[in-house]
Each structure stands twice: as C-alpha cells, then as structure tokens.
Amino acid sequence: MKRWMESIPRDEARHQRLWDRTSFQLGDWLDSTAPPEQSMDGQTDPILAADVLLVHSLDLIARIAAVLNRREDAKVSAQDAATRREQFRNEYVSFNGHVSSDSQTAYALALCFDLLQSPEQISYAGERLATIVRRNKFRIGTGFAGTPFLCEALIRTGHVQVAYAALLCEECPSWLYPLTVNPGEMTLFNHYCFGSLVSFLCERLGGLQSLEPGWKKIRFAPQPDGGITSARVKQLRPFGWVSAQWVIEGGRLNMELDLPNGASAETVLPSGVISPRVDATVTVVGGETWFFTGEYREHQEWPIDFITAFPSLELPRNSHT
C-alpha cells in the first residue's frame, strides 16, 4: 500500500500532494450526462473524484498501520491525509461549502468522506445537493464514483425525504427504472450500479449499522420514510446471524431485533415514535430477540415535489410584456 501511494504522480508544479492534474482518470464513469464515446467526461472533475479517494486511501492506511502496531507508518499516513485533506479544501471547496463541479457526485463524495470542515459548510453542501437532486426530478445524476454515496450523503445532512424520493424514482436513470421496462429491453443507463445501494438499504432503511470491528457492537436505528411501511434485513456476521425488521401498521411502529451471543446493540427509536417516549437509545445484549413498539406518526408530508429550473410565472391581468 505504501509503495502504491508513493507511485502516484503528484502535482509538483503547484507544490501539491494531490493527483497530477494531467494524469488520466476514469472519473465519475458513466455519469448519465457524459457522451457515450467519452464516458469519463461527465459533470464532475475526474481529478476531484480521484483526490477524494486519495485522501480516503491515506486514512485507511493510517488505520491499518495502527492495527498492525506500525506507529511511525500510522503517524506519517495520518499527517499526509490531513495535509491532503486541507489541500483538497483549498482546491475545490469555497468558504461557505460550495464544491467545484457543483454536481451530485462532488457533494456526495465531499460529504461522505469528511472533506468539509465546518458545520456551515456541511449544511450548505447538503442543501445544495438536495436542491440539485430535486431539480433533476430525483433521477440519478452520478456515475460509478458517486452513485453509492448519493442517498447516504442526503441522509447524513437531514434530507431524508429527498434520499427516499431518489431511491423510489422510476424515471431513467434510476435504481427502479429497470423494473419498469419489459424483460430484454435495455438502455445504456438502466443498469445503474445494481449493488451500489445495498449498504444504504441495510444501514438506513433496515437500520443495521456496525459500531465496532467484527460487528461486536451494533446500532439498530431504522429511518422509516418515503411511504415505505416495512423492512427486513438479515446478515451473517462473525458472531452469527443478525436480523432486524420493522413494520408500521395501525398507527404503530413495531421493531424486532435478533442478536447472536457475544454481540450487543444500541437501539435508537425513530423520531416518529410519539408514545410511549422512552429513552431515545436503548442498549440490549445478544442471545435474545428484542421487541419495541410505540405509537408512530410520520412528521413530514409525502410525496415531495421536484423543483423546476424555470417555474412558470403568473402575470397580473392587463399586464404587458
């Protein structure tokens, strides 16, 4: 890993530790706006996407070195990651959080890989991403680099309904568009990274998230929304099978969590549970099946509308243009 990192061509002309801007990159491959003959030429700067993953790779190397007790390597990689993270912000992020390229992928990557510094930047980036998605009628505007992180970035910044609207969109390109066409039919963009949403479905819709390596400690925190009334997820982890499910029925939310021996879970009740209101977080232990129930009320209207780029204007009567 160290040798690979050392081999990356750097932007020495500007004394940067980021990727050399003349290097070839596949970028946000198959962004739906890219021309078919140039699938890397989408909305997002290919070097921006490469630099995001460069910083993330250094973060991973630092963590791996720490686990292996290679303290000097961990220290050097962590410092290098911090330096390149700062250079990334200087290169691509404005003071208020506007990310160059101004695309779904640019904001999703910056948010999910912790490349924004202040709460104000994060808030602005989340708002801007939600606006771009709504203006695109909730259709995917990302390629291979950004698609797995689109809904997660929206959830993290509080735009839950926009995330579910994107998830449930059936227009091309979208995750559900392939289900609307007859078997055997195909367009270039109807296969959009089929597996790219599995983490989001398991962790956000299903609610199962790992808090410690090996899934020794788990968080069960489902986020119902988008008119979805039930979900179930089951995963094989080092301690055994972990399964969780929830259903909204008759104005109540019923949650069930089955944990293997040796594991524990932090259960977080959705904000829509209004009675009884117990502690927001409940810790439970493995080897048992746990049940939670309560009166549930959705706190937002559904569905939400997209935003038109040029809204129609109603002129006063007898007005002249």
Give me the mean pLDDT over the 109-118 stretch. Answer: 97
Q: What are the helix (H) ranges across the chain? A: 2-7, 46-67, 71-92, 104-112, 119-135, 150-156, 160-168, 198-200
Which structural domain range is residue 242 located in?
207-296
Residue 20 has pLDDT above 90, yes or no: no
Residue 313 pLDDT greater than 60, yes or no = no
| In a shared domain, residues 111 and 232 | no
C-alpha to C-alpha distance for 288 and 260, rounded to whole angstroms: 7
Query: What pLDDT shows up at residue 190?
Result: 47
Task: Using alpha carbons only, give the angle 280, 110, 311 rounded to the nearest 5 degrees.
Answer: 90
Please check whether residues 231 and 114 belong to one and the same domain.
no
Domain-located, residue 320: no
Answer yes or no: is 191 within a domain.
yes
Same domain, 23 and 97: yes
Identity of residue 71: R
Q: Please, which pLDDT band fits residue 315 given cuts at 50, 70 and 90?
A: very low
Confidence at residue 183, expressed as pLDDT on a 0 to 100 scale: 58
Mean pLDDT for 63-92 is 96
Residue 162 shares a structural domain with residue 278 = no
- Taking only the tens place, the pLDDT of each residue in 238-281 is 999 999 999 999 999 999 999 999 999 999 988 888 766 555 67
Decide if 13 is inside a domain.
Answer: yes
- The average pLDDT across 82-105 equals 96
Note whether 67 and 167 are same-domain residues.
yes
Number of domains within the chain: 2
* pLDDT over 80 at 191, yes or no: no
Within 10 Å of residue 86's Cβ, how many Cβ atoms?
A: 14
Q: Is 230's pLDDT higher than 60?
A: yes
Paired with 281 in beta bridges are: 268
- 93-107, 214-228, 266-280: which range is least confident on average? 266-280
User: Does the pLDDT value for residue 194 go beyond 60?
Assistant: no
CA distances from 7 to 1, 2, 4, 19 (A): 10, 9, 5, 11
Arithmetic mean of pLDDT, 108-137:
98
Mean pLDDT value of segment 108-131: 98
Which residues, listed in sequence order, are joined to residue 234 by a DSSP beta bridge?
Answer: 243
Q: What are the pLDDT digits (tens) for 43-56?
A: 999 999 999 999 99
Is residue 277 a part of any domain in this protein? Answer: yes
Both 193 and 237 in one domain: the answer is no
Query: If pLDDT is split at 50, 70 and 90, which confidence band does 193 have?
Result: low
Instruction: Specify the pLDDT at position 187.
Output: 52
**Residue 2 confidence (pLDDT):** 86
Which CATH number do you get for residue 284? 2.60.420.10
Residue 194 CA to residue 175 CA, distance in Å, equals 7
> Residue 68 falls within a domain, yes or no?
yes
Structure-block tokens of residue 227: 């008119």
Q: Does the pLDDT value for residue 128 go beyond 70? A: yes
